[in-house]
């Protein structure tokens, strides 16, 4: 599979109320990878994802998606390129799972246009990929945390965006659902999707991510292959803990102390 640069961020700066949140962010992400974004709380992980999909906009710098400056891309067209699964997405109204996932097709519809067979097929494929078909008639606001997260990913898949951003998708889940999510993301990566995931579970990041971007105090502290990310001195400086990589039957495990 060819790995071309899909997302390029050049010298991005973002402030809120005159407080600098992100500074000098310059990184690139290739197609068909799981790219982990890690760092302590408050380091700017969620803020970076919101800047990438233009929920928030940087005060300076460039974001290029597939070579295009995203300020020159209309909102609907941008939604067909990049989609964000936010942390702890909660729906306060009653809507079925199938209808909620179908909302992901809106970027592909003209005003007042009804669903086409193509839209229904894409929604069905999203249900199958996430194994949420049995939930299709359930109310979204009655799902468990793990079920809800899978449904949110299914809605993101329905957009058909090649770039999927996920903000801490495993944070409130038990270990089985965490693994289910990460295995699903691996399958999506293998099908050609590009995944950016902010994640606080460093063990999962070490096991599943192809690259790591480590943020520290709003700046990029490390950006590169996962195998190089967890050097002891690097983890010590950013997270203030020691780490040791331990061989196991399934690869390398991390021991923190």
Span 51-79, average pLDDT:
96
Bridge partners (DSSP) listed for residue 182: none
* pLDDT score recorded for residue 2: 56
Span 26-54, average pLDDT:
97
Percent of the chain with pLDDT over 70: 98
| Residue scoring higher pLDDT (106 or 89) | 106
* pLDDT score recorded for residue 1: 47
Whose CA is closest to 1, among 208, 157, 193? 193
| Residue scoring higher pLDDT (257 or 30) | 30
* pLDDT score recorded for residue 172: 81
Span 45-65, average pLDDT:
97
CA separation for the pair 112, 67 (Å, rounded): 31
Over the stretch 231-251, which tens digit does the pLDDT of each residue have?
Answer: 999 999 999 999 988 887 777
Give this prediction's pTM. Answer: 0.93
CA separation for the pair 109, 118 (Å, rounded): 11
Q: Compute CA distances 202 → 95, 177, 178, 243, 251, whole Å.
A: 35, 16, 13, 10, 15
Span 43-49, average pLDDT:
97
Domain ranges of the chain: 1-81+161-229, 93-160
CATH fold, domain 1-81+161-229, is Rossmann fold (3.40.50)
């Amino acid at each position: 599979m060819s790995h071309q640069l899909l997302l390029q961020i050049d010298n991005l700066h973002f402030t809120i109320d005159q407080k600098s949140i992100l500074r000098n962010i310059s990184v690139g992400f290739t197609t068909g990878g799981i790219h982990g974004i890690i760092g302590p709380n408050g380091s700017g992980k969620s803020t970076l994802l919101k800047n990438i999909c233009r929920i928030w906009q940087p005060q300076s710098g460039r974001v290029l998606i597939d070579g295009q400056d995203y300020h020159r891309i209309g909102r609907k067209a941008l939604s067909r390129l990049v989609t964000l699964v936010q942390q702890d997405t909660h729906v306060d109204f009653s809507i079925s799972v199938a209808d909620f996932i179908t909302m992901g097709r809106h970027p592909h519809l003209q005003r007042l246009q009804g669903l086409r067979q193509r839209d229904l097929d894409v929604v069905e494929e999203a249900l199958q990929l996430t194994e949420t078909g049995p939930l299709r008639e359930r109310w979204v606001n009655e799902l468990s945390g793990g079920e809800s997260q899978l449904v949110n990913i299914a809605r993101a898949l329905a957009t058909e965006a090649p770039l999927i951003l996920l903000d801490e998708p495993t944070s409130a889940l038990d270990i089985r659902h965490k693994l289910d999510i990460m295995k699903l993301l691996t399958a999506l990566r293998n099908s050609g999707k590009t995944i950016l995931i902010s994640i606080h579970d460093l063990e999962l990041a070490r096991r599943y991510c192809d690259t790591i971007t480590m943020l520290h105090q709003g700046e990029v502290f490390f950006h590169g292959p996962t195998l190089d990310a967890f050097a002891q001195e690097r983890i010590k400086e950013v997270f203030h803990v020691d780490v040791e990589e331990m061989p196991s039957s399934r690869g390398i495990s991390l021991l923190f102390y």
